[in-house]
Amino acid sequence: MSANQPDTGFLLLNTGSDAFIVRAALIESARQSIDAQYYIWNDDNSGRYLAGRLVAAAERGVNVRLLLDDINVAGKESLFAVLNGHPNIQVRIFNPARSRSGVGRFLSLILDFDRINRRMHNKTFVADGYAGIAGGRNIGDEYFDEHPALNFRDRDVMALGPIVGDMTDNFSAYWNSQWSYPLEQIYQPQPPELAASARSRFINETAQAQAFKSIPPQGFDAAETFLEGRFADLTQAPAKLVYDEPPKDPNAPTDTPKLTAKALYDLVAQAETEILVESAYFVLADEQLEDLRDVVKPGLSILAITNSLASNDLVTNHSAYARWREEMLESGIELYELRPDAKGCKAWVSNEAACDNGAVSLHSKAVVFDQSTLFVGSLNVNLRSIYLNGETVLIIQSPEMAKTVAADIRHSMTPENSWQVTLDKGGDLLWRSSDQQVDHEPDVGFWRRAKSRFLSWLPLEKYL
């Protein structure tokens, strides 16, 4: 965890389009190094495009290090092997399963359960040690407003200044961990001539403007001009970066909150009037609710928005939330669940066709305290993030940025964008929006509701 740093410049990346273009521009303009750390890097249009631009950067002498969590690497190794074959690119995999595919991989996940559950959920991107991005987004079409049917409402922050050095420290801690393995140790490299041919194809495919909804800048000069315009909009603010160190022993007990969670607890204890929570997965169980009762001041309001069953990409994760939903309401938390047909989609996702014909899901992780402090990063307010995952968060002391995010969160809580969940006089759940009031999970079929209800009976919330 860094101490409070001298003021750094920050820029909110509130749409996937913006997040995609800024990452692409940083790759194009990099002169010396790129360090990228992600939980997911998809082998789709945007994932392959950014991979191709990393190869192009390496061709001009930039040293590229790519660190990926293993849980989502299976089946995509060939993409990363193409990159790893370049002399200026190194790829490492964090905490890999011993078996790489099929039944063997499934069995290794079960038999090595404690270790495998310790995931690197951190998401950072640093170019030349001076500009960085931290937040909730992985790499893939659904994170960058490019998916035809399902796009995520997400949030990143670009930083320019001293705190970027702490992002590099975060990256280095995981890169140098004993649990990070060079890709070639766990995946058979391609023959050099095939890898070289694939890299050339990557460069050629991505050298021209792609058929993206938002076209990234092409070439060094265009990227520099683009970034100079963005740098002019930076907000200067004191801030600190907090990250969880990789586990020295992944089989050790996991009953102590990690550093990022402790930082969140401290901010909760200091809050005076209002806490606004935006979390894709939201789970507070007995221990957390008891801690909340101990520190909450009279008059403090806590409002939280998370996914509904209809908007959640994972029924399993929703079931963990559903298991504790009534207790969270009884503790005084005001709960909202995102509608997949939220009217705000067109403000959040720069892909109108996807908003008209598809759905929006929440992937953001941000908390605003007293309209003055912004807590944003990879940490979901749930038990997995609190106890198991490695996470990275920024704590930015900026009323300007805090109020901007607070307004965004409040907008997402309006009836055209979400259902408010309450308890009726008999203690039963009700969902209310601009055009509905129902006593069951709205806009989903019986079997999806039944699956969520069944899973909610199982005490698995720490692992979901």
Active-site residues: which are they? Answer: 121, 123, 128, 363, 365, 370
Query: Which among 380, 1, 13, 390 is positioned nearest to 167, based on CA atoms?
Result: 1
Question: What is the chain's Cα-based Rg?
Answer: 22
CA torsion through residues 157, 385, 272, 163, sign: negative
The CA angle 430-431-437, to the nearest 5 degrees, is 90
Instruction: Tell me the C-alpha to C-alpha distance, in Å, between residue 77 and each of 72, 85, 123, 242, 317.
Output: 10, 12, 19, 30, 26
Give 148's contacts (C-beta < 8 A, 6+ positions apart): 353, 354, 357, 358
Query: Which among 106, 54, 80, 113 is positioned nearest to 182, based on CA atoms?
Result: 80
Query: Which among 260, 236, 375, 369 is positioned nearest to 1, based on CA atoms?
Result: 260
| Cα–Cα dist 35/72, whole Å | 19
Task: Give the bridge partners for 392, in sequence order.
Answer: 243
| Cα–Cα dist 171/261, whole Å | 19
Query: Which among 85, 104, 32 is positioned nearest to 63, based on CA atoms?
Result: 32
Please give the structure tokens belonging to residue 381: 């307010």
Which one-letter DSSP state was computed for residue 233?
Answer: T
